Amino acid sequence: MPEKIQHCLKIIVSGRVQGVYFRAFTQKQALKHAITGYAKNLPDGNVEIVACGSESALQQLIAWCHKGPLLAKVSAVEVLPCPDCSSFSDFSIR
């Protein structure tokens, strides 16, 4: 039986994650797992991801965030609860 409950998380990824296509690869992963939300660069050099989807899809995205694309060097991944994000219809790069 497919999982229908939507969960929403804020994920902060630290390390060398800007200028290495992290947001674009995150978008590809999100689309692959039917996750909505966004990814954006933060002024402190981190990447913020707001992701809404099934629990299993989000766990797969979190696992991917620990590695990132080939040129990234992830040093930390912080996962926080996020308020309802039912307003997202796709996954965008901001």
Mean per-residue pLDDT for 71-84? 92
Considering the candidates 16, 41, 46, 94, report the single residue annotated as catalytic: 41
E-state strands within the chain: 7-16, 36-41, 47-53, 73-81, 91-93
Q: Does some domain include residue 41?
A: yes
- pLDDT in the model for residue 1: 46
Q: Does some domain include residue 59?
A: yes
Q: Which domain holds residue 36?
A: 19-72
E-state strands within 7-68: 7-16, 36-41, 47-53
- pLDDT in the model for residue 2: 52
Indicate the SS3 state at residue 57: helix
Q: Does some domain include residue 10?
A: no
Q: Does some domain include residue 90?
A: no
Q: Does some domain include residue 89?
A: no
Catalytic residue status for 41: yes
Question: What would the pLDDT profile of 45-65 be if each residue is shown by its tens digit?
Answer: 999 999 999 999 999 999 999
Q: Does some domain include residue 64?
A: yes
Catalytic residue status for 94: no
**DSSP 8-state assignment for residue 6:** -
Number of domains in the chain: 1
Domain containing residue 26: CATH number: 3.30.70.100
pTM of the model: 0.92
Which residues, other chains included, contact 63 with Cβ-Cβ below 8 Å and sequence gap of 6+? none
